[in-house]
Amino acid sequence: MHASRHTLIALAIASVAVVTSGCTGSSPSTDPVATTVAPTEKVTITFWHGWSQPSEVKAIADNIAAFQKLHPNITVKTVPNVADDKILQGIRGGNGPDVVSSFTTDNVGMFCNGALMDLNPWLAKSGVDKNSVFLKPMVEYTQYQGKQCTLPLLGDAYGMYYNKAMFAAAGISAPPRTWSEFKADAVKLTKQSGASYSQLGFMPTFHGYENAIAHWVSQSGPTYFSADGKANIDKDPAFADFLTMQKDLVDSLGGFARLEKYRNGFGEEFSPQNAFEAGKVAMQIDGEWRTVSIRDDGVKLDWATAPLPVPDDQAASYGRGYVSGTVVGIPANSKHAAAAWEFVKYLTTDTTALVTFANAIHNVPSTHAAMSSPDLDKDAQFATFLQIAQNEQSNTTPASPNGGQYQTILQDFTYKWESGQAKDLTSGLADVDQQIDKANAQAKG
């Protein structure tokens, strides 16, 4: 689940066309928000979701069973392990489900362009104030241009994992809070071994596991787009400042070629051979799921978690982080919209359902009520991510009309930058903005 959620995904051109063409199948003839489901009315709705691991499928099945106990007239039929392109194809063909979920928040902009209903009227009808119910970053990544076409269903927060034994051996008493402290610690924790390393303080290259620039630069509170929707990466100093810092860290730790050679010996990310679990790195960017992976993998490791460091001139913002997660919506041509809304409302706002689900799959809850529930598992290391998700300065990447293509364009440039292929940062970021504006204009038609 996590690999598909956190990789920047560009959907196939055919899938993009599904939404941008506005071809979403036949819509109900009446206003769906005006409809209701009588307690005696028997309704069967279909739910397509992406969970595939047995524990995840069981967790969602348990929630469905609890919902059906509350609504015995509504039967929910599920289809697991469904990707976004299949969802969009089903909606276009008029044989899609009544409720869908997606791990890819980058695609919300596409979903909001006609494929899924705007849920704002449903929220208003049910008296749900989204801004007080849900965590702020999660409201942001579930809407696009005023359309709340999805709602958050649990989330992920990014922070730092660090090896306490390595820190103690290096005489470091606490995790770094600022970029300068981060660099100093990474260098101090690095042990050279010939042309390689016996221990690396931190793997700074962008191909490393969860090292996407979006996860890092969030610590600077970046603004990707201006008020008029134009790319703002060249104009916001957060990006240039971060990339300058990152390149300096690459050089300080031995250079791109040496680091990449070492990284190529890392084990698979979601395995006990993960570089952090294997003791190859002292610090690592990762999400809340790693807390459970370390336990389940049976790795003997003295470790802890903390927020990622922030720029020196933003030290007061320490504690923020990048937030993402699963989204849920109702296809625009759902034949049972009222029943579908009852199910979506239950999944996304019922505190017991959210806490039970969060405890089962070890994700961050998406509502304030679930966050404060005494039934939520809150061990010390997992609590770090709960705090990051609730931090008012935590942020996410904004939705776009083309599946987050702007992130792919920026990421491609960062690979050239860190390797030394791109020499001029200013002109490089200006070119990134031009490419993004061109891609967005094409997507909008």
Is the domain of 236 the same as that of 311? yes
Count of domains observed in the chain: 2
Residue of 85, 151, 132 lying closest to 347 (CA atoms): 151
Q: Which two tokens stand for residue 266?
A: 């890392």
For the whole model, what pTM was predicted? 0.91
Rounded mean pLDDT of 71-86? 94
Q: Is the pLDDT of residue 236 over 50?
A: yes
Cα gap 434→212, rounded to integer Å: 21
What single DSSP character describes residue 113? I
Cα gap 432→427, rounded to integer Å: 9
Which of 317, 343, 368 lies at the terminal end of a domain, its last residue?
A: 317
Which pLDDT does position 353 carry in this prediction?
97
Burial track 260-296 (b if 16+ CB lie within 10 A, e otherwise): bebbeebeebeeeebbbbbebbbbbbbbbbbbbbbee
Helix, strand, coil percentages for the chain (3-state, nearest 5)? 45, 15, 40
- Between 88 and 99, the higher pLDDT residue: 99
Cα gap 203→393, rounded to integer Å: 26
- Between 220 and 39, the higher pLDDT residue: 220
15 band by pLDDT with thresholds 50, 70 and 90: very low
231 band by pLDDT with thresholds 50, 70 and 90: very high
* Phi, psi for residue 371 in degrees, rounded to 5: -60, -35
Is the domain of 298 the same as that of 335? no
Is the domain of 214 the same as that of 277? yes
- Between 4 and 292, the higher pLDDT residue: 292
Q: Which residues contact 314 (CB under 8 A, 6 or more apart)?
A: 219, 220, 221
Is the domain of 244 the same as that of 194? yes
Q: Is the pLDDT of residue 299 over 50?
A: yes
Which pLDDT does position 408 carry in this prediction?
96
Q: For tokens 């680091």, what's the residue?
A: 259
What single DSSP character describes residue 311? -
Rounded mean pLDDT of 210-236? 96
Is the domain of 8 the same as that of 140? yes
- Between 36 and 298, the higher pLDDT residue: 298
Backbone region of residue 364 per phi and psi (left: phi > 0; alpha: psi in -120 to 50; beta: other values): beta
Is the domain of 11 the same as that of 129? yes
- 135, 152 Cβ separation under 8 angstroms: yes
Rounded mean pLDDT of 279-308? 96
Is the domain of 219 the same as that of 355? no
Rounded mean pLDDT of 378-402? 95
- 22, 114 Cβ separation under 8 angstroms: yes
Is the domain of 263 the same as that of 340? no
Q: Is the pLDDT of residue 311 over 70?
A: yes
Which pLDDT does position 30 carry in this prediction?
54
Q: Which residues contact 123 (CB under 8 A, 6 or more apart)?
A: 129, 130, 148
Rounded mean pLDDT of 103-121? 93
CATH of the domain at 169: 3.40.190.10
Is residue 7, in this structure, part of any structural domain at all?
yes
Which pLDDT does position 95 carry in this prediction?
84
- 138, 152 Cβ separation under 8 angstroms: yes
Which pLDDT does position 378 carry in this prediction?
87
Share of the chain above pLDDT 90, in %: 85
Is the domain of 245 the same as that of 381? no
Is residue 373, in this structure, part of any structural domain at all?
yes
Is the domain of 17 the same as that of 51? yes
Which pLDDT does position 46 carry in this prediction?
97
Is residue 441, in this structure, part of any structural domain at all?
no
Q: Is the pLDDT of residue 387 over 50?
A: yes
Residue 8's SS3 state is coil
Q: Is the pLDDT of residue 3 over 90?
A: no
CA distances from 361 to 54, 59, 282, 368 (A): 11, 7, 26, 18
Q: Which two tokens stand for residue 82?
A: 């469904």
- 79, 98 Cβ separation under 8 angstroms: no
Is the domain of 265 the same as that of 142? no
Q: Is the pLDDT of residue 76 over 80?
A: yes
Is the domain of 93 the same as that of 176? no
Is residue 22, in this structure, part of any structural domain at all?
yes
10 band by pLDDT with thresholds 50, 70 and 90: very low
Q: Is the pLDDT of residue 25 over 80?
A: no
Query: For residue range 151-162, what is the model confidence (pLDDT) as tens digits?
Result: 999 999 999 999
Share of the chain above pLDDT 70, in %: 93
Cα gap 307→316, rounded to integer Å: 13
Q: Is the pLDDT of residue 36 over 80?
A: no
Q: Is the pLDDT of residue 432 over 90?
A: yes
Q: Is the pLDDT of residue 290 over 60?
A: yes
Rounded mean pLDDT of 138-166? 97
- The mean predicted confidence, pLDDT, of the chain is 92
Q: Is the pLDDT of residue 303 over 80?
A: yes
CA distances from 282 to 2, 251, 292 (A): 22, 18, 18
Query: For residue range 172-222, what is the model confidence (pLDDT) as tens digits?
Result: 999 999 999 999 999 999 999 999 999 999 999 999 999 999 999 999 999
Q: 114 lies in which domain range?
A: 2-156+324-390
